[in-house]
Amino acid sequence: MEDYSKPLTKQCMKKILEQMENSIYKIKGKDKKFGIAFFSKIKIRKIIIPIILTNYRIIDEQYIQNNNGIEIQINNKLKKIRFNDRRFKYINKEYDLTVIEIKESKKIKINFFDIDEAVYLNNSEMLYNKESIYIMHNNNENEISISLGKIKYLNTSEIICFSNKIKNDNISPIFNLSNNKLIGILKSNSKYYIKGLFLKLIINEFINLYKANHKMKNEIDILVKVEKKDINKEIYFLNKEYSDYNKNHYVKQNDYYNLKELNEFNTELSINGKIYKYKKYFNPDKEGEYKIKLRFDFNLTNCAFMFNECINIIELNLCYFKTKYITNMHCMFFGCVNLKKLNFSSFNTKNVINMSYMFCSCTKLINLDLSFFNTENVTDMNSMFKECCKLEYINLISFDTKNVKDMNCMFNNCNNLKNLDLSTFDTKNVTNMRYLFAGCNKLKSLDLSNFNTKNVTDMSHMIMCDILINLDLSSFDTKNVKDMSDMFYHCKNINNLDLSSFDTKNVTNMSCMFEGCNNLNSLSLSSFDTRNVIKMTSMFEESYNLISLNLSSFNTKNVTSLGWMFKECHNLISLNLSSFDTQNVEIMESMFNNCKSLINLNLSSFNTKNVTSMGWMFYNCINIINLDLSSFDTKNVTDMSYMFYHCEKLNELNISTFCTKNVTDMSGMFSDCFNLNSLNLSSFDTFNVKTMEYMFYNCKKLNNLNLSSFNITNVVDAEKIFCGCSKHIINDNYSKFNKFNKYTLY
């Protein structure tokens, strides 16, 4: 027999152990305790029997009868196993072992080892006459149907053949039960059969053998910094359990399921070299840096929230962390605000689908080299680098984004990035580009010529880069875009924007679209189709250098808000709004606020029947000479505060048609209108007005002021209402306000 014996090679041993890893499963049994289960197949008297082996103390007959099933942990998920027959027999309690027969079906298969011939010595056979066991590999994720059976006690004269279907000359691993050693491999065409007692294996001894021979395949090195304020507090180096808020709002329970496994099975933890019973936090007794090593021997499939808000971590080494089976990295490093160094160059991300919020709020990371990332299956990159405010460099050259649908906030507030190479990005399936580059305030140029935007529906807040100078959007297809609000917000340095290719027929929101574009001199929007736009709030606000705007093509029939639309357009000389249909507009607040260069403004076409706010509407329009507001219907307006403030060149203002019955605020309404000679307010109904402070402040040339209709019953504040007015104006109207202290009125 010795002539045929050869030892296992290291390669063969390694291969066997790798496959054994996935043969071991957790089983939830009596008293909800967890034990170990093995899936296998044996052949007895030419009958192949698929089986589960487990500890009889975990599952007993009474438990099975009461619950009609057990739960098996398969691929980190609990699966209910139901029994077709409640008869349950222990094979051998003396050896602490239970064998359960499984019924195979099309969906339920017990797989054999697949050992390549190249990993063992050519022509080698291992023969022996000791007791042995053969453990098989199983990747089943389906519910398992079981019928209970009994395998008779075998005496030493009976033959057990371990397999007849294993690939490559029917290779089987052999375990010697006398010393619990993995001693070799067997070809089933050997001259000798194996004699032994299969059922004498003590399962716990095999677990020890497995652990002794198997190096834990996952290691994570963590450097944690503990400050004085942290002493004797719980310091987390993995995420906390999800809170009720997270559970109810945005966190799925299964996002945490994998991580809970780290508490249960086959895990080793050491802190500064000292091994502790594993838990997700420790209580340091002194300040300083702590080196933590976490080791575990099963593969995670879901790493969502793994290091979520672990604010004490300053370094992470994940080079020995196996990510082959991971599909979810959502929020993996979210909120690691002190993380400075991240070594994960061995990451296998081929199967990852979700990378959303992965590095979000890692506020101290400076460099990220992701050139080794395989993102071919990723569909979600939402907020992936959001709030990485110190990030200076990201290498994304290997990114395959062909399946990505969501890039919302992907680089939002990466305000230290100076360069961003997106030349490899395929965006044909992306639907959301909201906040994509918002806050990237050190980017001077951005090449998006390769961007395919045909499926994008949201471009709101997309650019928003303070010092961006050059931006070519000629390739953009915007036919499906619905939201362009804040798209170029605070692009202070862009002096030219060619949007002639933009198709805006489906856009509903253009609020703040060009707000803060300080250097734009001109803007051609003749191609804009605004038929479906509802909001134009602050559309051109703070576009200081705009001299002219041709809005003749604008269709505003569905617009409800024009508030702040031209606010701070200091250099705008003229505006032709004769085509504006304002019948549905509700907000006109600050619409022309600080349009200092406007001389004439024809609003005769305006329909204001639904407007509720006109406060600050013509605030500081210092060069307007004439305002014809005879068409204004103000019956629903509640706010007229500072409406004509500092319109210093207005000589006259006819607002006799104004209906003010619903107005509550008239503070500062005519303040600093230096050249107004007269005001006829006899039609004003002020019963609901609460504040009139500074209403006629500094109206120096006002000679005629008729306030006979004023009812100040509900006015609570009239401070400085006549301050700066002539004495006869004060004396003529003081009696109307005699409920106030005379000296507060001027």
Q: Cα–Cα distances in Å, from 245 out to 248, 250, 280, 337, 358?
A: 5, 8, 20, 21, 20
Please indicate, yes or no, if residue 29 is contained in any of the structural domains: yes
Residue 17 belongs to domain spanning? 2-213
Q: Would you say the C-alpha torsion 43, 49, 52, 53 has a positive or negative sign?
A: negative
Q: 30-34, 37-41, 139-143, 270-274 — which is least confidently predicted?
A: 139-143
In angstroms, rounded to a whole number, what is the distance separating the alpha carbons of residues 706 and 695? 14
Return the half-sphere exposure (C-beta side, CA atoms, 13 A cut-off) of residue 226: 22
Percent helix / strand / coil, the chain, rounded to 5:
10, 20, 70
* Per-residue confidence (pLDDT) for residue 167, from 0 to 100: 30
In angstroms, rounded to a whole number, what is the distance separating the alpha carbons of residues 79 and 3? 47
Q: Is pLDDT above 80 for 128? A: no
Beta bridge partners of 317: 221, 343
Picking from 581, 621, 571, the residue whose alpha carbon sits closest to that of residue 601 is 621
Q: What is the largest CA-CA distance in the chain?
A: 129
Q: Residues 213-232: what's their mean pLDDT? A: 84
Q: Is pLDDT above 80 for 536? A: yes
What DSSP assignment string belongs to 526-553? Answer: TT---TT--B-TTTTTT-TT------TT
Burial class (CB in 10 A: 0-12, 13-18, 19+), 212: exposed
Which residue is associated with the tokens 């009976």? 158
Picking from 264, 265, 267, 243, the residue whose alpha carbon sits closest to that of residue 255 is 243
* Per-residue confidence (pLDDT) for residue 730, from 0 to 100: 87
SS3 annotation, 44-57: ECCEEEEEEEECCC
Please indicate, yes or no, if residue 183 is contained in any of the structural domains: yes
**In the chain, what percentage of residues exceed pLDDT 90?**
53
Q: 81-85, 487-491, 726-730 — which is least confidently predicted?
A: 81-85
DSSP H or E segment with residue 254: helix 254-260
**In the chain, what percentage of residues exceed pLDDT 70?**
67
Q: Residues 291-299: what's their mean pLDDT? A: 83
In angstroms, rounded to a whole number, what is the distance separating the alpha carbons of residues 384 and 48? 51
* Per-residue confidence (pLDDT) for residue 644, from 0 to 100: 98
Burial class (CB in 10 A: 0-12, 13-18, 19+), 338: middle
Q: Is pLDDT above 90 for 17? A: no
* Per-residue confidence (pLDDT) for residue 225, from 0 to 100: 95
In angstroms, rounded to a whole number, what is the distance separating the alpha carbons of residues 39 and 25? 8
361-398 pLDDT tens trace:
999 999 999 999 999 999 999 999 999 999 999 999 99
Q: Is pLDDT above 50 for 129? A: no
Picking from 55, 34, 57, 53, the residue whose alpha carbon sits closest to that of residue 265 is 34
Q: Is pLDDT above 50 for 143? A: no
Please indicate, yes or no, if residue 100 is contained in any of the structural domains: yes
Q: Is pLDDT above 60 for 350? A: yes
Please indicate, yes or no, if residue 290 is contained in any of the structural domains: no
174-220 pLDDT tens trace:
443 333 344 344 443 333 323 222 323 333 444 444 445 445 678 99
Please indicate, yes or no, if residue 230 is contained in any of the structural domains: no
Pick the residue with more confidence: 459 or 242?
A: 459
Please indicate, yes or no, if residue 189 is contained in any of the structural domains: yes
Q: 71-85, 452-466, 682-696 — which is least confidently predicted?
A: 71-85
665-719 pLDDT tens trace:
999 999 999 999 989 898 899 999 999 999 999 999 999 898 988 999 999 999 9
Q: Is pLDDT above 60 for 453? A: yes
* Per-residue confidence (pLDDT) for residue 126, from 0 to 100: 31
Count of domains forming the chain: 1
* SS3 assignment, position 170: helix
Which residue is associated with the tokens 């006799």? 656
* Per-residue confidence (pLDDT) for residue 331, from 0 to 100: 92
54-71 pLDDT tens trace:
544 444 444 444 544 555
In angstroms, rounded to a whole number, what is the distance separating the alpha carbons of residues 628 and 630? 6
Ranges of beta strands (E only) in 353-509 are 367-369, 393-395, 445-446, 470-471
Per-position b or e across 107-139, b if 16+ CB within 10 A of its CB: ebebebbebeeebbeeebbbbbeebbbbbbbbe
* Per-residue confidence (pLDDT) for residue 439, from 0 to 100: 95
Pick the residue with more confidence: 157 or 702?
A: 702
- What is the identity of the amino acid at 630? S
* Per-residue confidence (pLDDT) for residue 52, from 0 to 100: 56
In angstroms, rounded to a whole number, what is the distance separating the alpha carbons of residues 3 and 185? 15
Tokens of 221: 């090195």
Per-residue confidence band for 28, with pLDDT thresholds at 50, 70 and 90: low
Picking from 495, 561, 487, 491, the residue whose alpha carbon sits closest to that of residue 528 is 487
Picking from 45, 139, 46, 44, the residue whose alpha carbon sits closest to that of residue 99 is 44
Q: 285-289, 384-388, 559-563 — which is least confidently predicted?
A: 285-289
Tokens of 308: 């979520």
Q: What is the mean pLDDT of the chain?
A: 76
* Per-residue confidence (pLDDT) for residue 461, from 0 to 100: 96
Q: 97-111, 259-273, 286-300 — which is least confidently predicted?
A: 97-111
Tokens of 59: 């599952």
Q: 67-81, 103-117, 414-428, 552-566 — which is least confidently predicted?
A: 103-117
Tokens of 339: 């993380």
474-515 pLDDT tens trace:
889 999 999 999 999 999 999 889 899 999 999 999 999 999
Q: Left, alpha or beta for 671 (phi > 0: left; psi -120 to 50: alpha)?
A: beta
* Per-residue confidence (pLDDT) for residue 522, from 0 to 100: 86
Q: Is pLDDT above 70 for 39? A: no
SS3 annotation, 258-295: HHHHHHCCCEEEEECCEEECCCCEECCCCCEEEEEEEE
Alpha helices in 286-403 (DSSP H): none
- Give this prediction's pTM: 0.71
Are residues 687 and 662 in contact, defined by beta-carbon separation less than 8 angstroms? no
Please indicate, yes or no, if residue 720 is contained in any of the structural domains: no
Are residues 112 and 167 in contact, defined by beta-carbon separation less than 8 angstroms? yes
**How many CB atoms sit inside 10 A of residue 228's CB?**
7
Please indicate, yes or no, if residue 683 is contained in any of the structural domains: no
Q: Cα–Cα distances in Å, from 406 out to 308, 380, 448, 457?
A: 21, 5, 17, 11
In angstroms, rounded to a whole number, what is the distance separating the alpha carbons of residues 449 and 471? 9
Q: 360-369, 458-467, 725-734 — which is least confidently predicted?
A: 725-734
* Per-residue confidence (pLDDT) for residue 198, from 0 to 100: 30
